[in-house]
Amino acid sequence: MSDCKPRGADILRNPHLNKGSAFTEQERDELGLRGLLPPAITNLENQVERTLKNLETKRTDMGRYVYLQALQDRNENLFFRLLIDNIEELMPVVYTPTVGQACRQFSHIHRNSRGLFISANDRGKMRQILDNWPEKDVKVIVITDGERILGLGDLGANGMGIPIGKLALYTACAGIEPHQCLPVMLDVGTNNEALRDDPLYLGLQQPRLDGDQLTELVDEFVHAVQDAYPTALIQFEDFTTPNAFSLLSDYRDQVLCFNDDIQGTAAVALAGVIASTRITGVDFADLRIMFLGAGSAATGIADLIQMALKDAGVEDEQARKQLWLVDSQGLVVESRENLAKHKLGYAHDAPKMDLISAIKEIKPHLLIGATATPNTFTEEVVRLMSEINERPVLFALSNPTSKAECTAEQAYEWSDGRAVFASGSPFAPVEYQGKTFKPGQGNNAYVFPGIGLGAIACEARIISEEMFLAAANTLAHLVSESQLEAGTLYPSLPEIREVSLAIAVSVAEKAWEQGLAQKEKPADVKKMISELMYDPRY
């Protein structure tokens, strides 16, 4: 029988195996690499240094994004070592905000396929398509239909950049092995006419399927995954609000899955809310919170905060009364007709009013923006919040940066330096009246990798809401006093692997407590989980 192990150029073309110039003399002889590489032998640290110097020559974030994608296609260990060691600088390139621009241009910058593209034409073939994927030990799947990419809308198959980016963070932030990650684009068409008219567009050039047709395709996919990878976690990403809630309702109690836009955003926002009380001095149980935006993100946050309030001793009805939604038509109230189902629980007995009137009437301690509409936290809004609160709390969570409700500089300036500010995309430190503020980024990357790692480690059957609550509480208590003094509501990004490990432990512990874990609990949970975490080395 012939030896089927890769040799020579085949190794250099395999990103799992390729070490580039780091192959030793012995390896070059044994693997048929002699002459295929320059003679100098370097180590991983040298390669990271060389790669950083190459990155410096790229003049735009898109240029850096394309370069890093090519690196991941060539040498995974080097890519992830670089990303882990430079997470603060490179996360905005690999994910938000640059990934939004990358999705817009996805078909134009496409070089090498990554993940699975499953189209509406593949009905009845999904199990067969999963067999085409070369890796059999899949643990995490991120799937999108591309209809609501960040705050950018329907980008169709171009939305594949989101699953790719999310899974890069699963590996970098929580140590999920790269070969265990599977990005999936469910291409059901697009209603974006500019894409359909673009001759370079790589997706189906037809109107988007919806309703029962979409539901049936997702159902076939979920069942195919259960057969092919029965312990894999499915993360639903960037579906529209009605579809996001519907799919979550259909599968949350059946399979290991969650929706990051609803539940991940909720956990990271709740963590920031809890941390903010250490600055403002307002008791968490007494908070009045207003949301500008009433989609999947806002109502997901509200649902988890309501659960946290109940956990703090507040009755359900009272907890709801402390949470208010404002959408494009104003305050969500009972007298409004045709309210979407997910808004009904927050439709209070109050008169109709706009945002300014609602702030004056309700006097919220926190204002959370999840609108995907920029500049909605106007100077009037911020100054009004500052009149009501000694330390107004403002969360401008919409992504990418161009969609933020306000900038960090505006928040600090309009509040005379009193605002407690967090955002969805990164903002640079702000100097105001002799003080340096370091705005915290409420990035979902603080929670979803750790939640996934914890669920996988204990082989959870499902992910419960209590696990998200545990993750939020863990994250909130990892913020140091010095970070709070600088106005930061989240740990620093270089700490993110330690953060993910702590969250994974809390999630796994909750799974065992709730009887949802299929794996026997070890004597040392933290040690067991830490030993699962991939650390790229040669």
Nearest to 171 by CA among 428, 535, 435, 537: 535
Catalytic residue among 19, 65, 139, 166: 166
DSSP tag of 359: H
Is residue 505 classed exposed, middle or buried when 0-12, 13-18 and 19+ CB atoms within 10 A define those classes? Answer: buried
Residue 521 is given by DSSP the state P
Q: What stretch of H or E contains 180?
A: none
Distances (CA, A) of 101 to 94, 159, 316: 11, 11, 41
Identity of the amino acid at 124: G
Q: How deeply is 58 buried, as exposed, middle or buried, from its count of CB atoms within 10 A (0-12, 13-18, 19+)?
A: middle
Choose among 92, 471, 400, 87: nearest CA to 258: 471
> Collapsing DSSP states into helix, strand and coil, what is residue 392?
coil
The residue type of 399 is: N
Give the closest residue to 184 by CA, choosing from 222, 226, 212, 150: 222
Please identify which residue in the block is written with the tokens 């030793």: 24
**Spatial separation of the C-alpha atoms in residues 281 and 261, rounded to whole Å:** 29
CB 162 within 8 A of CB 144: yes
Choosing from 95, 201, 251, 490, which is the catalytic residue?
Answer: 95
CA 428 to chain centre: 20
Q: Which residue in the block uniquely carries the two structure tokens 């100097």?
A: 431
Note if 341 is an active site residue.
no
166 in active site: yes
Question: In degrees, to the nearest 5, what angle opens at C-alpha 175 toward C-alphas 498 and 515?
Answer: 80
Kindly state the helix (H) or strand (E) to which residue 431 belongs, with its residue range: strand 430-432
Beta bridge partners of residue 400, listed in sequence order: none
Are 289 and 323 in contact, with CB atoms under 8 Å apart?
yes
| Neighbouring residues of 118: CB distance < 8 A, sequence distance ≥ 6 | 126, 129, 184, 185, 186, 187, 221
Under 8 Å between Cβ of 290 and 368: yes
Quickly count: other Cβ atoms within 10 Å of residue 231's Cβ. 16
Q: Give the number of residues written for the chain.
A: 538
Cα R_g (the chain), whole angstroms: 24
Q: Kindly give the interhelix angle for 496-513 and 465-476, rounded to the nearest 10 degrees.
A: 140
Which residues are identified as catalytic? 95, 166
